[in-house]
Structure 1
Amino acid sequence: MPRLDDVARAAGVSKATASRALSGASGVAASTRERVQRTADELGFRVSGAARRLATGMTRTIGVLTPSVNRWYFGSVLHGIAHAADAHDHDVLLYDLGAFGRGGHEKFERFMTRGEVDGLVTITWSLVGGDLTRLADLGIPVATVGEPTQHTRSFALDDDAAGEQAAEHLVRLGHTDLLHLAAEPEVQPFEASSSDRRKRAFERVSARHGLRIRPVQTVPTTLEGAHAVVREIIDRADRPTGIVAGTDEVAMAALLAAHQLGIRVPEELSVIGVDDVPAAAAFGLTTIRQDPAQHGEDVVAWIMAALDDPDDEPDRSHTAYAPVLVVRSSTAPPS
Structure 2
Amino acid sequence: MSTIKDVAEAAGVSIATVSRALHGQPRVSEATRRRVLTVAADLRYVASPSAAGLATGLTHAIGVVAPFVNRWFFAAIVHSAEERLRRAGYDLLLYSLGTEAEERRRAFSGALLRKRVDGVLVLGLHPAEDEVAALSAAGGPVAIVGKDVPGWASVRIDDRAAAGCAVRHLLDLGHRRIGFLGGETDDPLGSTLPGDRRAGYHAELSGAGLPADPALEAVGGFTVRGGYAAAERLLQLAHPPTAIFAASDEMAIGAVQAIRRAGLRVPLDVSVVGLDDHEMAEVMDLTTVAQPVGAQGELAAEMILTALAEPGRPLPAVTVPTGLVVRGTTSRPTRRS
Would you call these one fold, judging by a TM-score over 0.5? yes
Q: 2:19 matched to 1:23?
A: yes
1:288 and 2:289 matched: yes
Deviation at 1:106, TM superposition (A): 5.3
Q: Over aligned residue pairs, what C-alpha RMSD do you find? A: 2.7
Following superposition, the deviation at residue 193 of structure 1 comes to 1.8
Note closer, same or farther for the CA distance 1:151–1:187 as it changes in structure 2 (3 Å cut).
farther
Change over 3 Å in CA distance of 1:248–1:51 after alignment to 2? same
Separation of aligned partners in 2, 1:151 and 1:7: 40
Secondary structure at the aligned position of 2:213 is classed as: coil
SS at match of 2:204: helix
Q: Report the Cα offset of residue 170 of structure 1.
A: 0.7
- 8 Å CA contact 1:67–1:104 kept in 2: the answer is no
Deviation of 1:285 after TM superposition, in Å, equals: 1.1
2:274 counterpart residue number: 273
Number of the residue aligned with 2:317: 318
CA distance in 1 between partners of 2:29 and 2:293 (Å): 42
Percent of paired sites with the same residue: 32
Distance change in 2, residues 1:296/1:200 (3 Å)? same
Contact 2:7 2:40 in 1 (8 A): yes
Q: What letter is aligned with 1:71? A: R
Match of 1:79 in 2: 79
Give the TM-score, by structure 1 length.
Answer: 0.87
SS at match of 1:307: helix
Partners of 1:304 and 1:30 lie apart in 2 by 18
Where in structure 2 are the equivalents of 1:89-238 lying within 5 Å? Answer: 89-97=89-97, 99-100=98-99, 102-105=101-104, 107-108=106-107, 112-115=111-114, 116-150=116-150, 152-184=152-184, 187-189=188-190, 193-211=192-210, 213-215=212-214, 216-238=217-239
The answer for the alignment partner of 1:44 in structure 2 is 44
SS at match of 1:94: strand
Tell me if the contact between 1:178 and 1:211 (Cα under 8 Å) persists in the aligned partners: no
Task: Tell me if structure 1 keeps the 8 A contact 2:118–2:139.
Answer: no
Question: What residue in structure 2 maps to residue 244 of structure 1?
Answer: 245
TM-score by length of 2: 0.87
My pick for the range that moved more, 322-331 or 128-137, is 128-137
> What runs of 5+ residues in structure 1 fail to find an aligned partner?
none
For residues 202 and 58 of structure 2, the distance between their equivalents in structure 1, rounded to whole angstroms, comes to 48
User: 1:130-179 CA distances to partner (integer Å, 9 max, x unpaired)?
Assistant: 33222222331111112233453221121011111000101111112212
Q: Residues 199 and 27 (structure 1 numbering): CA distance in 2 closer, same or farther, change over 3 Å?
A: closer
CA distance in 1, matches of 2:141, 2:4: 33
Corresponding residue for 1:253?
Answer: 254
Cα distance in structure 1, aligned partners of 2:303 and 2:99? 26
1:334 matched residue in structure 2: 333
For the 8 Å contact 1:81–1:297, the answer to whether it is kept is yes
In structure 2, distance between residues paired with 1:269 and 1:237: 15
Count of matched residue positions in the alignment of Structure 1 and Structure 2: 326
Aligned residue identity for 2:228: H
* 2:308 paired residue number: 307
| Secondary structure in structure 1 of the residue aligned to 2:148 | coil
Extract unaligned runs of 5+ from structure 2. none
Contact 1:18 1:36 survives alignment (8 Å):
no
The question of whether the paired residues in 2 share the 8 Å contact of 1:101 and 1:188 is answered with no
Residues in 2 aligned to 1:164 and 1:292: alpha-carbon distance in whole angstroms: 19
Moved more, 297-306 or 217-226: 217-226
